[in-house]
Amino acid sequence: MSAPVTMSRTLTRLQARLRGQVGKAIEDFAMIGAGDRVMVCLSGGKDSYTLLEILLSLQRSAPVGFELIAVNLDQKQPGFPPHVLPEYLTGLGVPFHIIEQDTYSVVKRVVPEGRTMCGLCSRLRRGALYRFAAEHGVTKIALGHHRDDIVETLFLNLFFGGRLKAMAPKLLSEDGRQVVIRPLAYVAERDIERYARGRRFPIIPCRLCGSQDNLQRVAVKRMLAEWERTYPGRIESIFTALRHVEPGTLADTRLFDFTGLEARRVPPMTAAEEACLDETCEVA
C-alpha cells in the first residue's frame, strides 16, 4: 500500500467543498439517519474511493451516529489485483468485505462479441450486492454516481430510450427491500478526478467494459464535454433543471391531470367585476 498522502492547502479546500456538497445532498434527500448501517460499494475507481473517504470524514463530525462498511465485488476479471483493496481498506481502518463471484465469465459467455456488456454486468453486480446487504443488516446502499453521471443518464434515456428519466439521488430497489443512495449527486466529475489524483488512490481499471469505446454513454459524455467547453456551466444548469421540474409543461398524463384542467378554471367575471377594473369599488 502506498504511503499516506499529505494534503496540500488546495487539496484541503477541495475536500472541504466535497464534504459540503455531500453533506448537503445527504440533508436534502434524507439519505442517512441515526443508527443506519451504510454499505459503500467500492469498485476500485475514483468515484467510489472519493465517496468512501468523504463519508468517513463526515462520519467523524456528523450529528448522528451511523456505521460504514466497504464492500467490493471481485468479479474475477483477468488481471484484477485482489490484494489492492484489502490492503488499502485495512490501512484506512474501515470494516470491509470482499464478495467473490465470477460474473465475468457469465457476461463474456452470454453477451455477443461487440455488444454492450454493461447492462448484464450491472444486473449481476446489483444482485450480489443486494444479497449481501440483506444478509448483513445493511439499511442503506451507497453508490458512487456523481452529478455528471446523472446528467449523462438523462440524455441516454432521452436520445436512446424515449424517456425523460435520470438517476434519483435516493431510491427504493425494484424489489422494495433496499434503499439506495447517491451521496455524490451534487459533485462534479472534474472535482472527483482532481481529488483522486491528489489523494493518489490505487485505481483499479474495469477491464470488462472499459475498453468498449462505442458505448452510447461514451458518446453522450463527449457531447456534454464539448458543450461544457463551449458554454461553461451548462452541465450544472441541466442538473439544476432536474431539481426544478414543472410537470404541467410536459406531456405525461401520469404526472399531470390534463383531463381535470377545466375544473380548476376561474369563472368568467361578472359585469360588475369588470367595471371594478377601472375604478375602486366593492362588489357585494
pLDDT in tens, 23-78: 999 999 999 999 999 999 998 999 999 999 999 999 999 999 999 999 998 877 77
- State residue 5's pLDDT score: 64
Average pLDDT over residues 183-201: 97
Q: For the chain, which residues make up each domain, given as ranges?
A: 9-248
Q: Is 39 helix (H, G, I), strand (E, B) or coil?
A: strand
Q: What is the DSSP letter of 136?
A: T
Which neighbouring-strand residues pair with 246? none
Predicted confidence at residue 208, as pLDDT, reads: 54
Cβ burial, residue 6 (10 Å; 0-12/13-18/19+): exposed
**Whole-number Cα distances in Å, 277 to 78, 128, 200, 274:** 79, 68, 70, 5
pLDDT at residue 8 greater than cutoff 50: yes
pLDDT digits (tens, 9 = 90+) for 81-124: 889 999 999 999 999 999 987 777 777 777 666 666 666 677 77
Q: What does CATH list as the number for 9-248?
A: 3.40.50.620
Least confident of 163-172, 246-255, 265-274: 265-274
Total-model pTM: 0.87
Position 104 scores a pLDDT of: 74
- pLDDT (average), residues 134-143: 96
Position 116 scores a pLDDT of: 65
62-68 own/partner pairs: CB under 8 Å, 24+ apart? 62/32, 64/32, 64/33, 64/34, 64/35, 65/34, 65/35, 66/32, 66/33, 66/34, 66/35, 66/36, 66/37, 66/38, 67/36, 67/37, 67/38, 67/95, 68/38, 68/40, 68/94, 68/95
Give the model's confidence band at 133: pLDDT under 50 very low, under 70 low, under 90 confident, else very high.
very high
